[in-house]
Amino acid sequence: MDLTTSIPTVTGNPAAASLVARVENLTKSYGAHLSRVDALREVTLGIRRGEFTAVMGPSGSGKSTLMHIMAGLDSPTAGRVWLGDSEIGSLGDDQLTLLRRRRVGFVFQAFNLVPTLDVEGNLLLPFELDGRTPSPQERAWIDELETVLGLDSRLSHRPHELSGGQQQRVAIARALVTRPELVFADEPTGNLDSRTGREVLQVLQSAARGYGQSIAMVTHDPVAASFADRVLFLADGRLVDDRSGMSAAEIANYMLAMDQAA
Ligand SMILES: Nc1ncnc2c1ncn2[C@@H]1O[C@H](COP(=O)(O)OP(=O)(O)OP(=O)(O)O)[C@@H](O)[C@H]1O
């Protein structure tokens, strides 16, 4: 298996227009001198608009670091990062806050719902944080998400009154309410049993296929990654492969080969 497939650079490439986010020669190091850790080494890649992309790799390969930098939560040591046409490195703190609030959505393993708010309150939170109420079109979209995600009968319930799968569906709906350019999902099924996890992955897959929602998901789980249109493999801080249409078994075998090559 060739783990060193070269990845085409997106610089000056018309295909860059179809990318919702991209990084070029992205390097991230923590610490200095003997304690220095190179979490990412000259990574160049793009996340395609309207696709569900999984980012996989062994523990410590740099998946979370990549996601945090792409989402504007952390800064690169070197290299460039774009969300759409905006180069993140050129934004000030206030602009970065607005970018995170308006242009990206987040789904975490731990759901991260506000425990004192009911489902409806959690779904309206992104608007509240932005200091506004939803427009009629946005209200219609929230209603649609509530229906599609089966939350209609749970709107006045608080998170602790919901199952794990329901809580994650609320978190997904909350990530989608502002129609962000890109949703980042970090091990979104990590706290769920496998059946519930599959339901949640189907929701993410439908958001990409049905609504053209761009999604980037970090996962260890080959079954989770098999729901994605495309899988990016990281190893030791580098992008080592970029595949589409892989089955869970193929992904599991690939990960095994990576472990053996390490
Ligand atoms: N704040 C930090 N300070 C120092 N080292 C860090 C920090 N964050 C990450 N690292 C190191 O960077 C490397 C990549 O970490 P990262 O969390 O991105 O990997 P990962 O692929 O997401 O791992 P996992 O699958 O275990 O979550 C690891 O060696 C990690 O120890």
27 lines ligand 1 (CB under 6 A): no
Secondary structure (DSSP) of 38-103: EEEEEEEEEEETT-EEEEE-STTSSHHHHHHHHTTSS--SEEEEEETTEEGGG--HHHHHHHHHHT
What single letter denotes the amino acid at residue 69? I
Output the pTM of the full model.
0.89
Predicted confidence at residue 16, as pLDDT, reads 58
Ligand 1 mean position to 76 CA, how many Å? 14
What single letter denotes the amino acid at residue 185? A
The residue count of the chain comes to 262
User: In 3D, which of 76, 40, 56 has the Cα closest to residue 3?
Assistant: 56
Q: Which residue has the tokens 């472990």?
A: 259
Secondary structure (DSSP) of 143-194: HHHHHHTT-GGGTT--GGGS-HHHHHHHHHHHHHTT--SEEEEESTTTTS-H
Going edge to edge, which strands form the sheet with 37-48? 37-48, 19-30, 78-83, 86-87
Q: Which residues contact 114 (CB under 8 A, 6 or more apart)?
A: 121, 122, 125, 159
pLDDT of residue 14 exceeding 80: no
Q: Which residue has the tokens 């206030």?
A: 94
Q: Which residues contact 97 (CB under 8 A, 6 or more apart)?
A: none
* Cα separations in angstroms, 233 against 45, 61, 211, 251: 11, 9, 26, 10
* Cα separations in angstroms, 230 against 67, 119, 160, 214, 236: 16, 32, 34, 12, 20
Residue 37, both tokens: 């850790």
Nearest CA, atom 3, ligand 1: 30
30 lines ligand 1 (CB under 6 A): yes
Burial of 176 (0-12, 13-18, 19+ CB in 10 A): buried
Predicted confidence at residue 1, as pLDDT, reads 35
User: 4 falls in which pLDDT band (50, 70, 90)?
Assistant: very low
Q: Which residue has the tokens 């001198």?
A: 33
Q: Which residue has the tokens 């298996």?
A: 1
Q: Which residues contact 168 (CB under 8 A, 6 or more apart)?
A: 107, 111, 188, 189, 191, 192, 196, 200
Ligand 1 mean position to 62 CA, how many Å? 6
Ligand 1 mean position to 49 CA, how many Å? 27
Domains and CATH numbers, the chain: 18-261 (3.40.50.300)
Q: ipTM above 0.90?
A: yes
64 lines ligand 1 (CB under 6 A): yes
Question: Best mutation site among 30, 56, 238 for ligand 1, i.e. most ligand atoms within 8 A of its Cβ?
Answer: 30
Render pLDDT for 143-200 as a digit per residue (tens, 0 to 9): 999 998 889 999 999 999 999 999 999 999 999 999 999 999 999 998 888 888 898 8
> Which ligand 1 atom sits nearest the alpha carbon of residue 65?
18
Question: Best mutation site among 33, 37, 234 for ligand 1, i.e. most ligand atoms within 8 A of its Cβ?
Answer: 37
Predicted confidence at residue 15, as pLDDT, reads 55
Residue 247, both tokens: 């089955």
Render pLDDT for 72-122 as a digit per residue (tens, 0 to 9): 999 999 999 999 989 998 888 899 998 988 899 999 888 899 999 999 999
188 lines ligand 1 (CB under 6 A): no
